[in-house]
Structure 1
């Protein structure tokens, strides 16, 4: 696997295919049953260093979702504490699609909804919203983990993610912490590694999705 050198915001996730300095893609995801939250996820391990350190991205979706609809998803990110922030591009590129930026904080973690119209620091985005679960969000001293439901991550403009097939996603990594890590509106540094993959949503279907969301949000 090849890893990126430090690159400025002007090196966009949108150029993933052409750039020679990207983390190499890994095509396959695997199924993961999370005993803590009860969700079935599909997961991808995005390596960001030559010693095989990486960030795990897990996604769960509802069963029976029709194509070309804006459906909720559950996102779980697990990262070593050396990860200053971890990013996810739902459309597989930096600009023109919902972005998530997450980082460890105190005994848990924070996630921020972002959007970029140019190759600069992504700004806060109200078109997608995250609800962080009480269960599945933690920091144990070596890793941080966040689990959250996202509304508005699977549709943007005339684009829709497939609830039953594969979707091209992208990740970003930086070892630098956000400037104000207690706030989801904090600025953060440019990424140092980026990569992309094809994520299988079909194997992440959960028949009791709504019930599990309510349970993990602490409503039941």
Structure 2
């Protein structure tokens, strides 16, 4: 088996590993698992968000009293909704993957674990946590509670925890996006260098072959 160069004719024997890689690249089912490390990282983050928001929301709702009913109900409901939203995204991605109804590489890169959709979900969740935490801290510092005391302390602590969790989620998305962009640029640079090297290599082989043919023609002519 010989490999054809881009407009340059035969480029020598084809690499079996390259042929196998090309065949695997054409399998749509494998596009969902091209970067297992990134997918595993984003999946773990999604599980942590689901558990953290879900348990926090259930904890606030279960400890609701007459003194702190309003803010506990509001914050607990918001956390449960965020947990359900993240869980719904994971279920939808799994359903689309199992049905194999998406055949576009670009759409798969967006929907798969570690894609753009995961970044948006984590970012929205982090911003929501920041907003909830800021509201609770403002209410606690403004002393809007009817009877300041243990309930006010709980509100302040909940606000700080939500702010810390939301800030960590937003900062994590920023760092993750920056690292992904840097890695992509590095890969593109390497691919460009490999192409340049291959072009020069093929050109060198062709020049050498042309010189041999010219020498042979001159010898025959003589």
* TM-score (norm. length: structure 1): 0.21
Query: Which structure dedicates a bigger proportion of its chain to helix?
Result: 2
Greater Rg by CA: 2
TM-score calculated relative to the size of structure 2: 0.21
Which structure has the higher relative contact order (CA within 8 Å, separation 6+)?
Answer: 1
The structure with the greater share of residues assigned to strand is 1
